[in-house]
């Protein structure tokens, strides 16, 4: 037995990875990631198409997209799932029980969202969407912890990271292409009812998933005692972290509330001077953005680092706050202790890596379906094909390329390449929007844009292939649709590749002993900056048009390319971030 195991370990890495595909864990990973992708696509993607059709402007869509911050701040309640309690008396186990609860709750909330009317009460829509996002983020916490806990080798981690993206993107076919086609025929309300049914079907994954090995479960009270931190310092740490998170979240919720409840007042200039102005996204980001990042990210990290510096090992009695301390601060102490000053580099990389593709995600449907600011004015059926069918296939292909690249090249080269192509593909959409909106006059030039893409597709003869796709689905072909499919193909290949690289990198940083908190923290931070940037981005669209937005996101997207290169150098010098015996 030992000899066989040693022979397996000596086999090439890609062979070990392909053998792992036969494992039940891999089938469960695919099903559970499909369940995770449904609510995300429903409230972050399809909802924006519904809002666009209902006449909601980009400014309001940008503010509403702050609900994605539920995913960015999920690390706040992730400690509750570090060692979750099984609340359903069954043989499912704690992880699978919580997965099932979240899935059923999301299905119920999707029904509630289906009963709303965006044109009549945007605040009600926002409330329902926020609850779905919170339940979905909780589902992600449990799923990420389960994935890390059941992985036995590096090959398992990389393969499950790739399958996670496959399942997520398959769910995108349901919430994207199918949802758009159905909405054009039966309306958005009934479409969301069907999404709820799809979520119930996806609960199968909770029954297929194996229970994680108990060897990874650790008593939070024991972790608190082993930390060697005296009770007064533990209490102070919990209070400092809790207050900083509360203040940061208050800034965001207050801005959303003011934006949705603002009532324009028509009055004389003399009186208008004392009338409150509409909340401004740029002002909010400039004045509060750095403070929010400091309070929600840096304060907990600083607290953990300061406690590590004390380095006092002293037995203490168990207190009621032990659970909170050990679930929040101890995992952060582990990160800062293992990474040292490198934690700052990791933090900067995680914060910026997905900015280029995440920040404009809320405006994809307004760009495709809208009529103003240089939008493309396509139909539901065209976008269902170009973005949510063909595009999802390209994303899955990108994920596949990412998985193969991980096996052959390794994590860090893939991380750098993923950041580079994710940034560069923003220029494809900039080409489509070029010249379509004249900011000075507000004039829309519907015939402009796409010259570069037209030339590229013609030179490579890819236009022949793309032009043959729409007629297969009963759609009339046009140069504009062909160009859009070309741009979407490039961008989604890049996003799929970068997503796999990002998940694999984050997984490699995490200590399985603190899987729930550490992965939730790192995964949340990948969305934070992009989420905060959406409100001002909506305003930039209304003032300068979509073209300017795509150029700006390209330049910002080059930052993580440099940071990923520095992180590769750091890892090469310091070795693996997580000791092999911890796996």
- For residues 448 and 116, what is the distance between their CA atoms, to the nearest angstrom? 37
88-102, 231-245, 404-418, range with the lowest pLDDT: 231-245
- 74-113 pLDDT per residue, tens: 767 776 776 666 666 667 777 888 899 999 999 999 999 9
Residue 418 and residue 307 share a domain: no
192-196, 451-455, 477-481, range with the lowest pLDDT: 477-481
Q: Which of 289, 322, 339 lies at the terminal end of a domain, its last residue?
A: 339
Q: Which of 305, 323, 339 lies at the terminal end of a domain, its last residue?
A: 339
Residue 139 or 69, more confident: 139
Q: Which of 133-137, 338-342, 395-399, 510-514 has the highest mean pLDDT?
A: 133-137
Residue 115 and residue 247 share a domain: no
Residue 418 included in any domain: yes
Residue 287 and residue 233 share a domain: yes
179-188, 263-272, 476-485, 524-533, range with the lowest pLDDT: 263-272
- What's the pLDDT score for residue 111? 93
Residue 322 included in any domain: yes
Residue 284 and residue 145 share a domain: no
- 426-439 pLDDT per residue, tens: 899 888 888 776 65
- 4-34 pLDDT per residue, tens: 444 444 554 444 545 555 667 788 888 899 9
Q: Is the pLDDT of residue 50 over 80?
A: yes
DSSP string, 278-337: PP-HHHHHHHHHHHHHIIIIIHHHHHHHHHHHH---------TTHHHHHHHHHHHHHHHH
Contact 412, 564 (CB under 8 A): yes
- 277-288 pLDDT per residue, tens: 666 665 666 667
Could you give phi then psi for residue 438, rounded to 5 degrees?
-100, 105
Residue 426 included in any domain: yes
Q: What is the CATH number of the domain that holds 201?
A: 1.20.1250.20
Contact 64, 129 (CB under 8 A): yes
- What's the pLDDT score for residue 316? 37
18-27, 42-51, 195-204, range with the lowest pLDDT: 18-27
- For residues 326 and 223, what is the distance between their CA atoms, to the nearest angstrom? 6
Q: Helices 411-424 & 546-557, crossing angle to 10 degrees? A: 160
Q: Provide the CA 420 distance to its chain's centre, in angstroms.
A: 18
Q: Is the pLDDT of residue 470 over 70?
A: yes
- 213-236 pLDDT per residue, tens: 765 444 555 555 555 556 566 667
Percent of the chain with pLDDT over 70: 71
Query: What's the structural domain count of the chain?
Result: 2
Rounded mean pLDDT, 344-362: 79
Rounded mean pLDDT, 291-302: 73
Residue 511 and residue 369 share a domain: yes
Residue 381 and residue 308 share a domain: no
Residue 378 or 360, more confident: 378
Residue 496 included in any domain: yes
pLDDT confidence bin for 393, thresholds 50/70/90: confident
- For residues 419 and 436, what is the distance between their CA atoms, to the nearest angstrom? 28
Residue 403 and residue 508 share a domain: yes
Residue 202 and residue 228 share a domain: no
Residue 540 included in any domain: yes
Mean pLDDT of the chain: 76
Rounded mean pLDDT, 561-578: 80
Nearest to 578 by CA among 520, 518, 525, 526: 518
Angle at the Cα of 102 (from 100 to 103), degrees rounded to 5? 65
- For residues 553 and 427, what is the distance between their CA atoms, to the nearest angstrom? 9
Q: Provide the CA 358 distance to its chain's centre, in angstroms.
A: 7
Residue 482 included in any domain: yes
- What's the pLDDT score for residue 127? 85
- For residues 8 and 79, what is the distance between their CA atoms, to the nearest angstrom? 36
Could you give phi then psi for residue 264, rounded to 5 degrees?
-60, 140
- For residues 508 and 474, what is the distance between their CA atoms, to the nearest angstrom? 46
Rounded mean pLDDT, 467-496: 87
- What's the pLDDT score for residue 192? 93
- For residues 285 and 536, what is the distance between their CA atoms, to the nearest angstrom? 7
- For residues 168 and 492, what is the distance between their CA atoms, to the nearest angstrom? 13
Residue 245 and residue 149 share a domain: no
Within 10 angstroms of residue 256's Cβ, the number of other Cβ atoms is: 20
Residue 225 and residue 332 share a domain: yes
Nearest to 284 by CA among 245, 248, 309: 248
Residue 558 and residue 438 share a domain: yes
Residue 322 or 472, more confident: 472
Residue 328 or 122, more confident: 122
- 26-37 pLDDT per residue, tens: 888 888 999 999
Residue 254 and residue 303 share a domain: yes
- What's the pLDDT score for residue 420? 93
Structural domain span for residue 290: 218-262+277-339
- What's the pLDDT score for residue 107? 94
Residue 450 included in any domain: yes
- For residues 83 and 87, what is the distance between their CA atoms, to the nearest angstrom? 12
Residue 1 included in any domain: no
Residue 446 or 363, more confident: 363
DSSP string, 420-479: HHHHHTHHHHHHHHTTSEETTTTEE-TT---HHHHHHHHHHTHHHHHHTHHHHTT----H
Q: Which of 285, 316, 339 lies at the terminal end of a domain, its last residue?
A: 339
């Amino acid at each position: 037995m030992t000899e066989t195991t040693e022979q397996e370990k000596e086999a090439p890495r890609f062979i070990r990875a392909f053998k792992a595909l036969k494992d039940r864990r891999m089938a469960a990973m695919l099903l559970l990631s499909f369940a995770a992708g449904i609510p995300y696509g429903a409230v972050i993607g399809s909802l924006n198409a519904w809002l666009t059709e209902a006449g909601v402007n980009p400014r309001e869509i940008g503010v509403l997209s702050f609900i994605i911050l539920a995913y960015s701040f999920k690390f706040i309640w992730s400690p509750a799932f570090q060692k979750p309690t099984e609340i359903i008396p069954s043989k499912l186990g704690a992880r699978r029980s919580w997965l099932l609860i979240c899935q059923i709750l999301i299905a119920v909330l999707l029904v509630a969202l289906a009963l709303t009317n965006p044109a009549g009460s945007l605040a009600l829509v926002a409330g329902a969407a926020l609850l779905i996002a919170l339940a979905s983020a909780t589902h992600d916490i449990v799923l990420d912890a389960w994935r890390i806990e059941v992985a036995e080798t590096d090959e398992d981690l990389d393969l499950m990271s790739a399958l996670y993206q496959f399942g997520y993107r398959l769910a995108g076919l349901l919430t994207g292409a199918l949802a758009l086609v159905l909405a054009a025929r039966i309306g958005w309300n009934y479409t969301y009812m069907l999404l709820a049914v799809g979520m119930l079907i996806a609960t199968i994954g909770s029954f297929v998933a194996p229970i994680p090995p108990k060897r990874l479960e650790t008593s939070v009270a024991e972790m608190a005692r082993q930390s060697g931190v005296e009770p007064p310092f533990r209490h102070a740490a919990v209070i400092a972290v809790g207050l900083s998170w509360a203040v940061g979240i208050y800034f965001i919720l207050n801005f959303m509330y003011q934006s949705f409840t603002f009532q324009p007042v028509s009055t004389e200039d003399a009186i208008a001077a004392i009338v409150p102005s509409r909340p401004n996204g740029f002002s909010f980001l400039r004045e509060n953005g750095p403070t929010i990042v400091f309070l929600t990210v840096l304060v907990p990290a600083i607290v953990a680092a300061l406690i590590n510096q004390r380095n006092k090992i002293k037995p203490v009695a168990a207190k009621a706050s032990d659970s909170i301390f050990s679930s929040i601060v101890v995992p952060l102490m582990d990160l800062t202790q293992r990474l040292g000053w490198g934690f700052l580099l990791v933090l900067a990389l995680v914060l910026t890596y997905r900015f280029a593709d995440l920040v404009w995600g809320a405006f994809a449907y307004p760009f495709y379906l809208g009529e103003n600011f240089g939008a493309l004015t396509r139909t539901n059926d065209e976008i269902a094909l170009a973005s949510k069918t063909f595009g999802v296939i390209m994303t899955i292909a990108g994920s596949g390329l990412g998985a193969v690249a991980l096996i052959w090249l390794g994590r860090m080269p893939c991380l750098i390449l993923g950041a580079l192509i994710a940034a560069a593909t923003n220029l494809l959409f900039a080409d489509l929007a070029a010249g379509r909106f004249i900011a000075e006059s507000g004039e829309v030039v519907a015939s402009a844009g796409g010259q570069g893409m037209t030339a590229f597709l013609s030179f490579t003869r890819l236009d022949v292939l793309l032009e043959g796709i729409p007629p297969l689905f009963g759609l009339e072909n046009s140069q504009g649709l062909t160009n859009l499919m070309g741009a979407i193909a490039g961008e989604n290949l890049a996003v799929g590749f970068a997503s796999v690289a990002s998940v694999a990198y984050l997984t490699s940083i995490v200590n399985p002993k603190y899987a729930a908190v550490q992965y939730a923290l790192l995964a949340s931070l990948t969305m934070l900056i992009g989420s905060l940037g959406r409100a001002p981005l909506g305003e930039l669209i209304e003032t300068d048009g979509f073209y300017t937005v795509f150029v700006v996101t390209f330049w910002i997207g080059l930052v993580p390319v440099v940071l990923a290169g520095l992180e590769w150098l750091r890892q090469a010098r310091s070795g693996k971030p997580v000791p092999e015996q911890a796996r």
